[in-house]
Amino acid sequence: MSDVLVIGGGVIGLSVAYELARSGAQVALVERGPLGGEASWAGAGIVPPAATRSDVPAWERLQAMSYALHEEWSRR
């Protein structure tokens, strides 16, 4: 039996499943087609990583953390 069910095998779903499994969770993932075969708006990069919303400190912190972790995560 799984602890977590991830719905969607795009880059975001696969990333979530991967990190959960690394943390010790038993993960099941369902996808209607081939893994990585489709892209969501966010996974396709339509949501920009560097928005011009400098008035949102939480967004800036998230953006900085994302940039710092990207190189390490992409090596996995």
Q: So what's the pLDDT on residue 54? A: 60
Q: So what's the pLDDT on residue 11? A: 82
| Alpha-carbon distance values, 52 to 36, 46, 67 (Å) | 29, 14, 16
**What does the CA dihedral 42, 44, 47, 50 come to, rounded to 10 degrees?**
130
End-to-end CA distance of the chain: 26
d(CA 4, CA 41): 24
Q: So what's the pLDDT on residue 48? A: 59
- Reading the chain (76 residues) residue by residue, the pLDDT tens digits are 999 999 999 888 999 999 999 999 999 999 999 887 877 766 666 655 555 556 667 777 877 887 888 777 777 7
DSSP run (H or E) holding 7: strand 4-7
Domain layout of the chain by residue ranges: 1-45, 48-76
